[in-house]
Structure formats: structure tokens, C-alpha cells
Amino acid sequence: MHDFGALGTIGIGFISFGLSGIAADRDVVPSFLSGSFTPFDNQTSGSYDYLDLALQLTYARNFTDRLALGFSVKMINQSIDEESANAFAFDFGSTYRIGFRNATLGARLNNLGKDMKFFNIGTPLPLNFSVGGSIDLIRNENHGVTIMADATKPQDADQLIFTGGEYMFNDLVALRGGWKFNYSGVDDKKRNEFDQREIKAARTEEGVSLGAGLKVPMGNKKLVVDYAFTEFGLLDNTHRFSLNVTF
């Protein structure tokens, strides 16, 4: 990421996420589909791999001292076993500074693009629209407390409310926490396809999120190291580390 002053800011990002050695019960067809379904996958190996890749180019600019607009274009590749699909998508976002206690409002639209296709069957990208805001409850030379909330509406799910807070000490050390309302800790009613019983299933295994950050001045540059922990119930808890250098 680089700030070109009045011309705006340009950033390049790369995202990779994958799993390997996933067990594959390829020959098992549910009884209610027996005789009416022919699997597309005719492979015989006992496991398969999954990989998501995205290359992103972002441009943003302050149009006034309060209003900023930006967009990203992404090239996405998804591989499952020996099948692969590609798509292009766009993100759009804006922020507006109110001018009171660093209060900021924002809006964003993510993953606007065409479907990805596997076996000539379209798979829609996860389109999301969000509006949110943040405000400083405390801000002085030594301490800062910021709270934030984000109302997110996925295309194919209920309205979600994401909340979080941050405590900053001396503009060097940060402690953070967050919770997703109408998402974490929520049970959905689903129907067992084998015997048609109604069962409860967790909407997500994701629980509370906690984190910390450290800013390290390096002359006219700044090094930022962040750590985040997310509880994931039956799955392994997630630990994320990020490194950001500004110049």
C-alpha cells in the first residue's frame, strides 16, 4: 500500500486459504437420492485438497477532508480436488468523518461479480452489503477507547450485527475484542434429510474474538504487528498474525 497524496492511495493484496487431506467418501450416495443422482465426481482417491486464492488491486482517495471513496478489483481462483473455477469481483466502499470524537460512518459492497462455475453449474459469490460506524469514548495522550458496530446483510442470510472495541495505550499497544450478534451462539432449525426429523444446528462454531496489536516506529516508517484469536467450538481455534509496514 502506498499513499500518493492528492492522487490517492493504491494497494495490492494477496489472499490464500486452503485445506489438504480432506477425507472423501466418494462412493456414498444418500438414500433419498439413490437411483436419481449421478455424481459428477468420478475420482477414486481417499482424500482431496481445497484452495482459495485472490489477487486484489485497491484504489482509494479522500475527496474532501471528511469523505473518502474507494474500490477494489479481485481475481479469484477456487480449486477443489482436480476442479478449478475463476471469477472477477469488485468491492466498493466509502467513509464519512462526522467531526465529533473521531466518529466515522462507512458503507461497503463486497463481491459484486459473476458466478463461479464447477461442472458448468454456477456458484454465486458471497455478496454482502454493510453499513457501520465507530466513535472514540476516550481519547487523550495516553489512553484511547473506541467502540464500533457493523450491520451486515449477506445475500442469502439474515441480518447480522458485528460489534467490537479497542483500548489503545500511548498509541503503541492495543487490546481488542468482538462479538457477532445473530450469528455466534445462535441455533437454526434444520431438517434431517434421512428421517425428516427437525433438529437444531449451530449457525456457526465461531464465538468470541480477542486480539492485540503493537506499533513500532522505525524512522519515517511504522511497523504494525497484530494478533487475533477466534473461538471455534468443535473446530480448532483460529490464531491470526498480520504484519503491516507503512512508508
Domain for residue 236, yes or no? yes
Among 125, 98, 121, 122, CA closest to 111: 125
User: What is the C-alpha to C-alpha distance for residues 113 and 192, in angstroms, rounded to an integer?
Assistant: 33
- Is residue 39 a part of any domain in this protein? no
- The string of DSSP letters for 4-36 reads -GGG-EEEEEEEEEEEEEEE--TT---GGGTTT
Asked whether the predicted pLDDT for residue 43 surpasses 80, the reply is no
**Per-residue pLDDT reduced to its tens digit, 76-87:** 999 988 889 999
Residue 54 maps to a domain: no
- Taking the alpha carbons at both ends of the chain, their separation in whole angstroms is 9
Which helix (DSSP H) or strand (DSSP E) does residue 187 occupy?
strand 187-191
Residue range of the domain that includes 177: 127-247
| Residue 145 in domain | yes
CB atoms within 10 A of CB 191: 10
Highest-scoring range by mean pLDDT, 42-56, 108-122, 187-201: 108-122
Is the residue at 48 inside a domain? no
Band of the pLDDT at 26, cuts 50, 70, 90? low
For residue range 131-177, list pLDDT tens digits in order. Answer: 999 999 999 989 999 999 999 999 888 899 999 999 999 989 999 99
102 occurs within a structural domain: no
What pLDDT band is residue 39 in, cutting at 50, 70 and 90? low
Q: Which residue has the cell 495490492?
A: 12
Dihedral sign of CA atoms 175, 13, 238, 178 in order: positive
**Residue 91 counted as domain residue:** no
Indicate whether 224 belongs to any domain: yes
Number of domains into which the chain is organized? 1
State the pLDDT confidence band at 29, using cuts at 50, 70 and 90. Answer: low
pLDDT grade for 44, boundaries at 50, 70 and 90: low
Q: Is the pTM of this model over 0.85?
A: no
